[in-house]
Structure 1
Amino acid sequence: MANSKQTTQIIFHKLSRCLFLILGFLLLTACISAPKNVQLTNEFWKKKDRKVIVAITKAPIPQVYQVGNQGLLDYAINRTMNRKLNKYLERNDLTWYYALPENFTAKLKARNILSKPHTDQNLELEAKKYNDFVTSLNGDQLLIIKLTALGVQRNYYSIIPTSAPKSYCVMTGELINGKDKTVMWRQQTAITMPINGTWDQPPNYPNVAESLKLAIHTARQELLDSFFSDH
């Protein structure tokens, strides 16, 4: 009976490991086929007779992103071990993200571009509905910013960490023409930053906080620099 139970556990572990390998392959494929960045042309700055709506989408819950070769049981164990860090990350202040529509709008207006911030912090919008959304706000173009990942990333093999945790911030910005849905600008940024010194400092994790602050600043600045470069 014991041998049968042990065999079942081994089979489950192997199947769960295979499942995560498949998911990892699918994720890698998605990353490879991800849309490329698109540089904003000077034509955008020359044309003044249009209105740009600036919006953000709903932010994800900040967390520990566990990457690497893990089975389902491994993942659950690692998740439990990261419970305190996840609890801290979930409380992360997202004021900087909610302020981005105002930040971009102020810079656009300073360059004589008519623009308006959309301040809904819980916006969930599919690409196919961009046109309807911008039209409903009497706009012509949509500048939409998405925070897709925020927190800490750490590599694992089974339940063994194979790297120190790093702060992690992933964002995408797009400018969409409302009439023909053309992508006029796109910038994707994925920032990882080392955590200096000891990282495991509950409950406030000061070194994690400092590293994450730098990752956020770098990602945010990349978007701003890409859009407003030389203008």
Structure 2
Amino acid sequence: MMGRHYLAGLLLAASILSGCAVVQKPIPATSAIFEQKESTVVVAIEKMPEPGQVMLGSQGLLDIVINRANAKAIVDRLQTQDFSQVSGLPQSFRSGLESRQIKVVMIDAALDTETMPKFTEGSGEGIALRDYRPLAKQYKADKLLLITPRSLGTVRSYYGFMPLGAPMGYIALTGQLVNLSTNKLEWYDRVEVQTAALGEWDQAPEYDNLMKAVDESTRGAVGRLRGSFFMEKASPTAAPLAGGSAPATAVSTQ
């Protein structure tokens, strides 16, 4: 039974990178979003996941135990990593909306979407999975801008207990704009960025180069998600220095 649970976790982790489990395709933002000056947008973020290492590849139960034990030092270090750029995304989106003369209401606490009912009056692409319509009355808002941090930390591939490469910085985020009258999506994007460390990565206990790669992935993912919504190009990052991180690589989710 436990083996099935581990297998399910691995399949879920694999889908994070491959995108094979994604039903909803990206919905690009349009200028019409920012022309509706009378709209009020409620901005929220879901609970931040525990920083950790996504482990991909073919692994048995014993392999997983070994690989998790070997990754523990990295995971412990990730607990002290600064992910405030991700947690600060609601304020960043708020500033961008207000600079376009759109009224914003903030939900200060993390939104627990798991406690919200699924939307049952329609399904398929372009429809939010959860029924967010009650938020319209609760916050006197027309739309919901929801940010979902899906993975924070690193990723590494394995064959059994053998690593197939070095761990890489890895950040996965989702953003969506929901019309609270219809529960339809007006913008939807999934951003995944992975970055290889430059130079030696196995520098326990601080893992300086690997954490720089995590930082690079964080900056890249945050910039891409915000740029997707506001239809802006993410600011280019500076050329990496020796012992820093390799250029971030966006992972397609389509």
Shared fold (TM-score, shorter chain, > 0.5): yes
Q: Which structure 2 segments of 5+ residues have no match? A: 117-128, 234-254
What is the DSSP-based 3-state SS (H/G/I as helix, E as strand, rest coil) of the residue aligned with 1:96?
Answer: helix
Larger radius of gyration: 1
Which of 61, 69, 75 is the aligned partner of 1:80?
Answer: 69
Structure 1 residue 216 and structure 2 residue 218: aligned? Answer: yes
Whole-angstrom distance in 1 between the partners of 2:57 and 2:134: 40
User: Is the 1:154–1:164 contact (alpha carbons within 8 Å) kept by the matching residues of 2?
Assistant: yes
Which of 195, 200, 203 is the aligned partner of 1:198?
Answer: 200
User: Is the 2:156–2:165 contact (alpha carbons within 8 Å) kept by the matching residues of 1?
Assistant: yes
Query: 1:128 Cα shift?
Result: 2.3
The CA deviation string for residues 144-185 of structure 1, in whole angstroms up to 9 with x for no partner, is 000000111011011100111111000000000000001000
What is the DSSP-based 3-state SS (H/G/I as helix, E as strand, rest coil) of the residue aligned with 2:28?
Answer: coil
What is the DSSP-based 3-state SS (H/G/I as helix, E as strand, rest coil) of the residue aligned with 1:81?
Answer: helix
Whole-angstrom distance in 1 between the partners of 2:192 and 2:232: 23
What is the 5 A alignment of 1:131-150? 131-150=133-152
Which of 30, 37, 40 is the aligned partner of 1:48?
Answer: 37
What is the 5 A alignment of 1:33-112? 33-34=21-22, 35-112=24-101
Query: 1:21 Cα shift?
Result: 8.8
Name the residue aligned to 1:5. Answer: none
Name the residue aligned to 1:20. Answer: 7
Q: Which structure 1 segments of 5+ residues have no match? A: 1-14
Name the residue aligned to 1:123. Answer: 111
What is the 5 A alignment of 1:172-191? 172-191=174-193
For 2:137, give the aligned amino acid.
T
The CA deviation string for residues 118-145 of structure 1, in whole angstroms up to 9 with x for no partner, is 221x321144242213431111100000
User: Is the 2:146–2:177 contact (alpha carbons within 8 Å) kept by the matching residues of 1?
Assistant: yes
- When residues 28 and 82 of structure 1 are mapped into structure 2, their CA distance, relative to the original with a 3 A threshold, is closer
Name the residue aligned to 1:31. Answer: 19
Whole-angstrom distance in 2 between the partners of 1:162 and 1:152: 14
Which of 152, 165, 168 is the aligned partner of 2:167?
Answer: 165
Instruction: Point out 4+ residue stretches in structure 1 off by more than 6 angstroms.
Output: none
For 1:57, give the aligned amino acid.
E
Identity of paired residues, percent?
Answer: 28
Query: Higher helix fraction: Structure 1 or Structure 2?
Result: 1
Whole-angstrom distance in 1 between the partners of 2:106 and 2:171: 23
- When residues 33 and 21 of structure 1 are mapped into structure 2, their CA distance, relative to the original with a 3 A threshold, is closer
- When residues 203 and 22 of structure 1 are mapped into structure 2, their CA distance, relative to the original with a 3 A threshold, is closer
User: Is the 1:173–1:188 contact (alpha carbons within 8 Å) kept by the matching residues of 2?
Assistant: yes
Cα RMSD after superposing both structures: 2.6
What is the DSSP-based 3-state SS (H/G/I as helix, E as strand, rest coil) of the residue aligned with 2:198?
Answer: coil
- When residues 135 and 22 of structure 1 are mapped into structure 2, their CA distance, relative to the original with a 3 A threshold, is closer
The CA deviation string for residues 22-50 of structure 1, in whole angstroms up to 9 with x for no partner, is 96399549932411000122222221111
User: Is the 2:10–2:56 contact (alpha carbons within 8 Å) kept by the matching residues of 1?
Assistant: no
Whole-angstrom distance in 1 between the partners of 2:151 and 2:3: 24
- When residues 109 and 25 of structure 1 are mapped into structure 2, their CA distance, relative to the original with a 3 A threshold, is closer
User: Is the 1:98–1:119 contact (alpha carbons within 8 Å) kept by the matching residues of 2?
Assistant: no
User: Is the 1:16–1:73 contact (alpha carbons within 8 Å) kept by the matching residues of 2?
Assistant: no
Whole-angstrom distance in 1 between the partners of 2:13 and 2:71: 25
What is the DSSP-based 3-state SS (H/G/I as helix, E as strand, rest coil) of the residue aligned with 1:48?
Answer: coil
Whole-angstrom distance in 1 between the partners of 2:47 and 2:27: 23
